[in-house]
Amino acid sequence: MSANYLLKRADFIFKNDNDWEDVLKKSLSRTPNELINELISSELKGRGGAGFPTGLKWKLSSEEKADEKFVICNADEGEPGTFKDREILSRVPFKVLTAIAICGYVIGAKKGFIYLRGEYFFLKNELNKAISEFEFFCKEIKFDFSIKIFMGSGAYICGEETALFESMEGKRGEPRNKPPFPSVSGYMGKPTVINNVETLAHTFTIFKYGSKRFYDLGVQFSRGTKLFSVSGDTPKPGIYELELGMSLSDFVEEFGDDDTKAVQVGGASGFLVPRKKFAETSIGFQGKLVGISLPTGGSMMIFNSSRSMYNVLDNYLNFFAEESCGQCTPCRVGCQQLLRGIKAVKRGEKNAQYLDKLLKLAETMQFTAKCGLGQSVANSFASIVENFREEMIY
């Protein structure tokens, strides 16, 4: 069943942001409830994590009673193959700052933070300049809000929201048990809205043009546009804003090199789609594939026939074995077993049936790991092993 949906480019995110003062003023003149309803009717879902409805997230935090609340922009873009947030922050920072402030207004927070990936240190100075200008304007219009940058220190797991809080509190970035959820108890134990950079940029679009403009893009359950970081075997690597709901065959037609063997959707924690399934796969929150609903989504890595899928999987598993925080058993030990397991099969030390045991293990990791990292290892593992089993063995 083909999605039959053509690739539609869009241009919202990177369009100039020099009207941010107006968007901020206009938004602050509306009630928090109006703004929440605007978001809810846009059906915007988180662009970085689990695809949680953004409007609902803001609503939940706004309903909490607390002496202090926080807004955090998650710019810990660590998913291999993803580089869209870097572009947003360097090209249209004011959209993000405005969105953080509007969120603060909605939920009743006076402080916002940008958790910036340590590797993006080169963005810090420009971003701080933008923040100064932004805060100055806030003061002028008598809106009490401040934004600070918190630099990450090089740990992939800190993209997980509760690990990010721990890190900001000066601790090891180890994910917390949920519940409680951030909307109730986040940074410093206070109600916190944490949104991905791109999600915040989309809220700017919605507050500027109204929810209908956004809702009319994309398809049912997957409204609006999305940034895709295209890399791998493609003649045109880069960042593209596309409407959600496209089919993967259309995507490959546009970006492939005529020899595309598979596409990894969603980075290391995403899914590998082999050529024979391109037509039936569409990119969105619903459907056969939930590619972009994975942590720091939007990564599209294209592999041509010269690439060994075993090498790709080996690379992912190395990554996970290193970057797991090490707290919970399924993730800490499971990643090592998957990694050593495929090596053993490749070397002939374990027979091919051992892959089935590993597939079951990956499923257990998905059911039992403490956080999204461990739960999502199964995605790439199962999709690669199931679709390229012979490459794993020979």
Partner 1 sequence: MNATVESRVDTAIIDEIISRHKGKPGELLTVMEEVQEASEFKFLDDASMEYLSSQTRVPLSRIYSVATFYSFFNLKPQGKHSLIVCRGTACHTKGSKILLDDLALLPGCKEAFDSGETTFTSEDKQITVKTVACFGQCALAPVVAVDGVIYSNVTSEQIKKLLQNLQEDNKDENFRLS
Partner 2 sequence: MGNKLKITINGETVEIEKGTSILDAAKQVGVIIPTLCYHKDLCVAGNCRVCVVEIAGQKRLAAACATPCEEGMDVLTNTHKVRNSRKHIIELLLSEHNAECTSCYKNGNCELQLLASEYKIMNQDFIHLVPFRNYTVDMFSPSIIKDDSKCIRCQRCVRTCAELQSVNALTMSYKGEHAKITTFFEKSMNDVVCTNCGQCINHCPTGALVEKNYIEEVWNAIADKNKYVVVQTAPAVRVGLGEELGFDPGERVTGKMVAALKRLGFDAVMDTDFTADLTIMEEGTELLTRLKGALVDKNPDIKLPMATSCSPGWIKFIEHMYPEYLGNLSTCKSPQQMFGALVKTYYAKARKIDPDKIVSVSIMPCTAKKFEANRPEMHDSGYRDVDYVLTTRELAIMIKQAGIDFLKLNDMHFDRLMGESTGAGVIFGATGGVMEAALRTAYELVTGREVPFENLNINPVRGMDGVKEASVKKKPLPEWSFLEGVELKCAVAHGLVNAKKVMDSIKSGKANYHFIEFMACPGGCLGGGGQPIPTSPEIRKRRAEAIYAEDAGMPLRKSHQNPEIVKIYKDFLGKPLGEKSHHLLHTKYVPRKRF
**Cα distance between residue 348 and residue 331, in whole Å:** 25
Which residues contact partner 1 by CB under 8 A? Answer: 77-83, 86, 117-122, 150-151, 153-156, 167-173, 188, 229-232, 237-239, 264, 267-268, 299, 301, 303, 307, 311-312, 315-316, 318-319, 322-323, 325
| Contact partner, 370, from partner 1, partner 2, none, Cβ < 5-8 Å per class | partner 2
Backbone angles phi, psi at 251, to 5 degrees: -65, -45
User: Shortest distance, CB of residue 208 to partner 1, whole angstroms?
Assistant: 27
Q: Which of 259, 329, 352, 356 binds partner 2 (CB under 8 A)?
A: 329
Q: Using CB atoms within 10 Å of the CB of residue 389, give its burial: 0 to 12 exposed, 13 to 18 middle, 19+ buried.
A: middle
Least Å from the CB of residue 89 to partner 1? 11
For the purposes of burial, counting CB atoms within 10 Å of the CB of 276, is it exposed (0-12), middle (13-18) or buried (19 or more)?
Answer: exposed
Minimum gap (Å) between residue 292 Cβ and partner 2: 19
Name which of residues 126 to 185 contact partner 2 (CB under 8 A): 155, 157, 172, 177, 179
Mapped onto helix, strand or coil, the DSSP state of residue 108 is coil
Q: Which residue has the tokens 């915007």?
A: 44
Distance (Å) of CA 215 to CA 170, 205, 288, 354: 40, 11, 22, 47
Structure tokens at 68: 């202090």
Residue 245 tokens, joined: 């709901």
333-392 positions binding partner 2, by CB under 8 A: 333-337, 340-341, 344, 354, 357, 360-361, 364, 366-370, 375
| Interaction partner, residue 210 (partner 1, partner 2, none; CB < 5-8 Å by kind) | none
Q: H/E/C letters for each residue in 202-245?
A: HHHHHHHHCHHHHHCCEECCEECEEEEEEEECCCCCEEEEEECC
- Nearest of 151, 148, 58, 149 to residue 110 by alpha carbon: 148
90 binds, among partner 2, partner 1, none (CB under 5 to 8 A by kind): none
Q: Pick what 312 binds: partner 2, partner 1, none; C-beta below 5 to 8 Å, kind-dependent.
A: partner 1
Q: Per CB under 8 A, does 69 bind partner 2?
A: no
Give which of partner 1, partner 2, none residue 212 binds (C-beta under 5 to 8 Å, depending on kind). none
Q: List 239's β-bridge partners, or say none.
A: 229
How far apart are alpha carbons 181 and 6 in whole angstroms? 38
Binding piece for partner 2, criterion CB under 8 A, among 113-121, 129-137, 231-239, 327-335 = 327-335
User: Least distance from C-beta 21 to partner 2, angstroms?
Assistant: 43
Q: Which is nearer to partner 1, 102 or 325 (CB)?
A: 325
Residues that bind partner 2 (CB under 8 A): 155, 157, 172, 177, 179, 320-330, 332-337, 340-341, 344, 354, 357, 360-361, 364, 366-370, 375
